[in-house]
Structure 1
Amino acid sequence: MPRKSRNAVIGVDIGTSSSKGVLVGLDGALIRSAVREHTPTRPGPGRFEMDASVWWQEFCALTRELTGPDDTTVLAAGVSGMGPCVLLTDEHDTPLRPAILYGVDTRSVRQIRRIEERLGAEEIIRRCGSALTTQAAGPKIAWVAEEEPGLYARARRLYMPSSWLVRMLTGTYVLDHHSASQCTPLYDTLAGEWYDPWAAEVAPGIELPPLRWSGEAAGTVTAEAAAATGLPPGIPVTTGTIDAWAEALSVGAQHTGDLMLMYGTTMFLIHTVPKPLTSPSLWGTVGALPGTRNLAGGMATSGAVTNWLRDLFADGDHAELTRLAAESGPGAGGLLMLPYFSGERTPIMDPDARGVIAGLTLSHTRGDLYRAALEATGFGVRHNIEVIEEAGGDIRRVVAVGGGTQGAPWTQIVSDITGRQQEVRSITIGASYGGALLAAQLVGEAGIDDWNPVRETVRPRGEHRRRYDELYGLYRRLYRETSATVHALAPLQQR
C-alpha cells in the first residue's frame, strides 16, 4: 500500500562556504537536510567573489535531493543568502561578472572616501542608519563603475543571492527591505524606500528592484524552474533576505531586546530595538519583518579562523582540536589572539586590521592555539555588545544559532567572557530553517515556539570571570598597540 504523502516546505540558504537546504513539515519537524560546499574565489588581496551560476546549480541540486523520495508534497519555498552582495546583470538578466561579496571583500575603500566627501559621513549615518563601510553594497557598485567602466555601461539590475534565486524561480525582480537597507547609501531607512538622489549619484543607470518584506510572496515557481529544481510548478516563493536575518527568525530572535549570536564562518550579532538607533561602529537597519528595527554587528572571521587552524594541522579535525582546547583551559596557556584575519567589520571598522597571536612560546600546543581562537571570538562579541549598549541598545535576551553551537565549548566560552546567558533552540541549522518558516507562513500558520522550542540555556561560570576580565582588557589594548605595525604590513600583502 503506498505511503501517504506529507505536506512540507523547503528552505535554502546560500552561504559563504556552503549552500544548505532543509525539507520541513508544516509542524516544524526537520524531515531532511542537504549541503553543498563551495569556496569563494579570491582574485586578489581583500577580494572575495562568487559566480551566480554556483548559487542556482546548488539550489537545483539541493531541491532535487530533498524532494527525491516520493513521500512529501512541497507547498512553498523560502530563500536566503549571504549579503549584502553585488551581482550586476544586463537588461536580459545575464550576469556581467562574478558577484562581489559582503564585508569580507574590502576593495571599495577609495570609493567609500569619495562618496563620504560628496554626501557627508554624518548625513549618510542619519539617513541610512549606518556608516559607509566595506560591508555596504553602494561602494561596491561604485567600484565596478570606476574600475570596469565598459562592463558597468551594460549594467541594469542589482541582485543578491536570495533575490537571484527568486528571479530564477519566479521570473520576478524584487528585493526585500532589509537587504535594501544594507545597500548604503541607496536606501533611506527613515522613509523605508530607495533614496533616488543618492542612487543616481552612486549607482547611475541601475534599475533598483521593487521592495517587499522578507515573508511576502515574490511570485510562484515557473514551469521552467520546476523542471530544473523538481519543485511543483505554481507554489509560492518568499521574497527572502540576508542569511543572518533568516537565522534570527529561525530561533525566534526578533523581539525587542533580543540579541542573536550567529556562530558560523563569521560571527553576526543582531539586536532588535524599538526605534532607529545609529552608531558609527555598527549597522542600523530595518528588520526582516515589517515594523522591526535592528542594530547589528558582524565580525569578519570566527569559524574561519578555526578552519584555518584545522587546515594548518595536517592531522587535525574540529572534534580533536575542541577536545584539546578544553584541556588547555581558560586563558589558553597565556595566549591572546586578535581574530582580524580578514580585516574587521564591527566595531573597529578596519579593513587593514590583521590577526595577531601574542604570547607564543615553544611550549604552546595545538589546543592552546585553538582555544585562543575560540576566546578571541568571545572577546570580539563582548566588544560588540558593549558598543551596542553604548549606542542605546537594551539587551534582555541572547539567542545562539549556527553550527558553532553544536557539541562544542564555544557557546560556553562566549558566555563566560560576556557574562551573558544564551538560549539554544532545538534546531540550530540556521538560515535555511528560517526560510522554511517564512515559506510555511505563506500557506498556513507557523510559530517558532511550536516549531523550535528552547533546548538548553548556557549560563556563564563565575569562577572564570576575573581571568577573562583581565584578558579582555589586554585584548582591547593589543589592537591599539599593534595597529600601526599591521597597518604598515597590510600594503605589503597587496603585492
Structure 2
Amino acid sequence: MGTGSSKGVLVDTAGVVIASATIPHAMNLPRPGWAEVDAESTWWREVCDISNRLAGEVPAGSRIAAMCVSGVGPCLVLCDDDLTPLRPAILYGVDTRATTEIRLLTEEFGADAILERAGTLLSSQAVGPKLEWVRRHEPEVFARATGWYGSNSYIAAKLTGEYVLDHHTASQCDPLYATSEFDWNTEWAKRICAHLPLPRLVWPSEVVGAVHAEAAAATGVPKGTPVVAGTVDAYSEAFSVGVRSPGDQMLMYGSTMFLVQIIEEYHSDPALWTTAGIERGSLALAAGTSTAGSMIGWLQTITGGASLDTLMAEASAVPAGSEGLIALPYLAGERTPVFDPDARGLFAGLTLRHGRGHLFRAVYEGIGFGIRQILEKFDDAHTGRRTVAVGGGLRSPIWAQAVSDITGRPQLVPEQAIGASYGDALMAAIGVKLVEPETDWAMIEREIMPNPDNRARYDELYGVWRELYPATKSLVHRLGELGDRD
C-alpha cells in the first residue's frame, strides 16, 4: 500500500510473477501540514479487491501458500476493539502537524537520550509525537482507542485478529523503541501510549497468524492461509532488489526520495534514521526527502503542462550544471538531513537566458545534490559498496544519470521493478519455509555509470548548493511566517 496506489502480486517460489493488480488512490490533505488516509475504505478495501483478483489467478492444482502486506510508514492508525479506525490514519513524515509535540517530547526526554536510545532524533517521521498529538488535540479519540497500528499491522490484524508490530516499523515509532536492543523502550512507550497496550514484536518475515473466516470471505484468500508480518513499503522494496548485506544501498526514485543502507554495527547520526532491518537482528540507516518526483509534477503543471517527453528533451539539451542555475527542492519543507518543516524551495542563479529546460534540469540536479549529502552521511557508518536504484523516476533520461554523475556512484537497475509487493511475496515464501532465508530473486538488468566529464563541475556546484540552505534559512522562515499570516 503505497502513497499513490496499492499493488499486489501473485508469485511462485521461483520468483516468477503470475499475476499483478494495482489500484490508484490519493492521500487526503485536509489542512496545511496534514496528510491522511482512510485506513478502512482505502487500504483494507484495496487489499480485499486486489486479493480477490489475484486469488482468481491461482493456477489449477496450486494453492495460496502465504500472504504478506507492506505499506507506507511509519503511520498511525488508532482503532477500537472491532478494528474500526477512530480517525483517518496519520501518514509518515509528510504529515508535519506534530511540531509542538516533537519539541515537548524532546524537552521531556532529552535530545541526546533520544538519539542514544532510539537511534533517531524526533521529527515528523516519528510516530511517538503523532500519538501525543492525538492525546492532546483529540482526547476523546485517544480515550476510545484500544490499539494502535501501522499500515501493514492494521491489515495483519484485519486478516488474523493478531495485535503485532514488526521490529522495523517499531524502530521508526520513535521514541517508543530501543533500536540497539531490538525491544520496546518500555518506560517512554508506556508514558506516551498511556492505556494503549504495546503490540507483540515480530520480525517482518515471521508468520503472525492465519486468515480467519471473516477475512477469507472479504479477500478471497482461503481460511487458514498463513499471514507474514510485512513492514514499511520502502524496506520491502529494498529487500526485493537484494539490498540485504552491510554496505548495500537502495535509492528509491518516487514522489519523494527514500534511501536505505544496511549497516554492520549500531550507528546513530542526528541527520539520519537508524532502524532495525528486515532480517532478524539486522540494522539499517534510512533517509527520506519531502519532495522529488512531486516537484517535477508541480513544475510540469506551472510551466504549461507540456508532456514529460517534451520537457525531458528540453532538459537533456541543457548542459550539466544548468548553466549556473541551482535549486533547493524543499517545496514541502525537508526531512533528512536538515529536518526543517519550514524550509522552502529556491532557485538561485536565474538569468534571462535560462528557460524551461534549465529549470527541469536544475531540479533533478538539486535532488541529486541532496542525495549526495545523505550518502556522505551513510559513509560515516559503512562505506556504500553497492547501490541499487528503483522507482518510477528511473523513466526519466536525466534523473538517475545526474545522481550518478553528482555522487560518483554507479547504480544497478534491477530487471524486476514491481517494488514492495515483490519483496512481500519473498518474505511470505521465507516465512512459511518454501524457500531458504537467503533466497534472492533480484536480477540486475543494467548499470548506470557516472560520466567523469561532469564530476569537476558538479563538485564545484555541490559546494555552492550546500551553502545555500544555511545562508537563506532565516529569510525563508520569515517568508513562511508572512505567507501563513496571509
Report the Cα distance in structure 1 between the residues aligned to 2:167 and 2:339, rounded to whole angstroms: 24
| Equivalent in the alignment of 2:25 | 38
Report the Cα distance in structure 1 between the residues aligned to 2:241 and 2:58, rounded to whole angstroms: 29
* Greater mean deviation of Cα atoms: 306-315 or 237-246: 306-315
Letter in 2 for 1:228: A
Report the Cα distance in structure 2 between the residues aligned to 1:362 and 1:233, rounded to whole angstroms: 66
Q: Percent identity?
A: 48
* Greater mean deviation of Cα atoms: 377-386 or 226-235: 226-235
Could you say what secondary structure the match of 2:69 adopts?
strand
- Contact residue 76 and residue 90 of structure 2 kept, 8 A: yes
1:27 aligns to 2:19 (yes or no): no
Could you say what secondary structure the match of 1:208 adopts?
coil
1:395 aligns to 2:395 (yes or no): no
Letter in 2 for 1:109: T
| Equivalent in the alignment of 2:420 | 431
- Contact residue 70 and residue 151 of structure 2 kept, 8 A: yes
* Cα 1:493–1:239 shift into 2, 3 Å: farther
State the Cα deviation string for residues 269-302 of structure 1 (Å, max 9, x = none). 1111111100111111111111211121111111
Provide the TM-score with structure 2 as the length reference.
0.95
| Equivalent in the alignment of 2:162 | 172
| Equivalent in the alignment of 1:293 | 283
**1:315-354, aligned counterparts within 5 Å?**
315-354=305-344
State the Cα deviation string for residues 454-476 of structure 1 (Å, max 9, x = none). 11121111001111112111211
- Pairwise CA distance, 1:246: 0.5
State the Cα deviation string for residues 42-101 of structure 1 (Å, max 9, x = none). 121111111102101111222223333463643221211111111111233221111111
**1:22-421, aligned counterparts within 5 Å?**
22-53=9-40, 54-69=42-57, 71=59, 73-390=63-380, 392-406=381-395, 408-421=397-410
**Unaligned ranges ≥5, structure 1:** 1-13
| Equivalent in the alignment of 1:10 | none
- Pairwise CA distance, 1:407: 5.8
Report the Cα distance in structure 1 between the residues aligned to 2:6 and 2:353, rounded to whole angstroms: 40
* Cα 1:450–1:346 shift into 2, 3 Å: closer
* Greater mean deviation of Cα atoms: 354-363 or 280-289: 354-363
Could you say what secondary structure the match of 1:325 adopts?
helix
State the Cα deviation string for residues 240-259 of structure 1 (Å, max 9, x = none). 10111111101111101111
| Equivalent in the alignment of 1:16 | 3
Letter in 2 for 1:412: Q
* Cα 1:22–1:69 shift into 2, 3 Å: closer
Provide the TM-score with structure 1 as the length reference.
0.93
State the Cα deviation string for residues 305-331 of structure 1 (Å, max 9, x = none). 112223334443333322332222312
* Cα 1:494–1:448 shift into 2, 3 Å: farther
| Equivalent in the alignment of 1:11 | none
- Pairwise CA distance, 1:127: 0.7
| Equivalent in the alignment of 2:472 | 482
Report the Cα distance in structure 2 between the residues aligned to 1:168 and 1:406, rounded to whole angstroms: 36
Report the Cα distance in structure 1 between the residues aligned to 2:439 and 2:209, rounded to whole angstroms: 28
* Cα 1:409–1:427 shift into 2, 3 Å: farther
Letter in 1 for 2:154: W
State the Cα deviation string for residues 174-201 of structure 1 (Å, max 9, x = none). 1100100111111111221112210122
- Contact residue 240 and residue 441 of structure 2 kept, 8 A: no
- Pairwise CA distance, 1:333: 3.8
- Contact residue 264 and residue 382 of structure 2 kept, 8 A: no
- Contact residue 128 and residue 188 of structure 1 kept, 8 A: yes
Could you say what secondary structure the match of 2:70 adopts?
strand
Report the Cα distance in structure 2 between the residues aligned to 1:91 and 1:449, rounded to whole angstroms: 38
* Greater mean deviation of Cα atoms: 20-29 or 312-321: 312-321
Report the Cα distance in structure 2 between the residues aligned to 1:23 and 1:118, rounded to whole angstroms: 47
Report the Cα distance in structure 1 between the residues aligned to 2:237 and 2:52, rounded to whole angstroms: 23
* Greater mean deviation of Cα atoms: 473-482 or 411-420: 473-482
State the Cα deviation string for residues 354-410 of structure 1 (Å, max 9, x = none). 1112233444333222222211211110010112223x3321111112222246332
Could you say what secondary structure the match of 1:357 adopts?
strand
- Contact residue 252 and residue 448 of structure 1 kept, 8 A: no
- Pairwise CA distance, 1:451: 2.1
**Unaligned ranges ≥5, structure 2:** none
- Contact residue 112 and residue 139 of structure 1 kept, 8 A: yes
Count of paired positions:
481
Letter in 2 for 1:415: S
Letter in 2 for 1:236: P
Report the Cα distance in structure 1 between the residues aligned to 2:396 and 2:298, rounded to whole angstroms: 20
Report the Cα distance in structure 1 between the residues aligned to 2:302 and 2:154, rounded to whole angstroms: 35
Report the Cα distance in structure 1 between the residues aligned to 2:24 and 2:475, rounded to whole angstroms: 36
Report the Cα distance in structure 1 between the residues aligned to 2:306 and 2:20, rounded to whole angstroms: 26
* Cα 1:462–1:190 shift into 2, 3 Å: same
* Cα 1:387–1:42 shift into 2, 3 Å: same
